Amino acid sequence: MPEHRSRKDAARNREAVLAAADALFARRGSAEDVTTAEVAAEAGVGKGTLFRAFGDRAGLLRALYEARLAPVREAVESGPPPLGPATPPRERVPALLDAVLCFKLDNRRLVVALEESANGSASPYQASHYEWLHRLLRDVLEQIPGTPGSDFTAHALLAATRADLVEHLAGREGVPRETLRAQLADFTAGLLD
């Protein structure tokens, strides 16, 4: 069904680059100081190939991100409660935020790099995954009676899970994972009364 099936070598190289990037980002602390040249080398591929496959550095980051996010998306869109669509709104909101927080905790380095690489104005807010998440959260909030300004509230709640904030608290200040989760849960709960 695909319009243009891509050539076998292209597909293989795309995977190789993705895997190489993943490995390199893991090996180094941060995705920040891994260059495209290094990724290409690690993948045993020329830079041209990398750029043809992903467009630019941000494209590579995005692809990796998307790959890691897929399970979460799956769980949210068609999984069982408390994440899936069958969950009552009042419980789904904290569950969603907790899932986002955990995801960011697990993928701190990558997410920081991605949120920052989107230079120019309005950085992470036009990424498709942000749009998706925001729309979803807003719609769920809307189903809770007495919630004013669900659009802004959704933004504000998501802002509380911003990658660099998470990195600051969990990384720099050493706040334990569970503490952070509890605090976010408290914060969310405080809002939904």
Q: Which amino acid is at 31?
A: A
DSSP code per residue over 20-40: HHHHHHHHSS-STT--HHHHH
Q: Which chain residues interact with a copy of itself by CB under 8 A?
A: 29-30, 32, 109, 112, 116, 119-126, 148-149, 152-153, 155-156, 159-160, 162, 164-165, 167-169, 171-172, 180, 183-184, 186-187, 190-191, 193
Determine the Cα–Cα distance for residues 1 and 160; give it in Å rounded to an integer.
41
Please compute Rg for the chain using Cα positions: 18
How far apart, in whole angstroms, are the C-alpha atoms of residue 35 and residue 21? 10
- By CB under 7 A, which span of 53-61, 82-90, 175-183, 184-192 interacts with DNA? 53-61
Residue 28 interacting with DNA (CB under 7 A): no
Shorter beta-carbon distance to DNA: residue 28 or 90: 28
Structure tokens at 138: 């807003």
Query: Does residue 143 bind DNA (CB under 7 A)?
Result: no
State the residues that interact with DNA by CB under 7 A: 4, 6-10, 12-13, 33, 35-37, 44-49, 51-53, 56-58
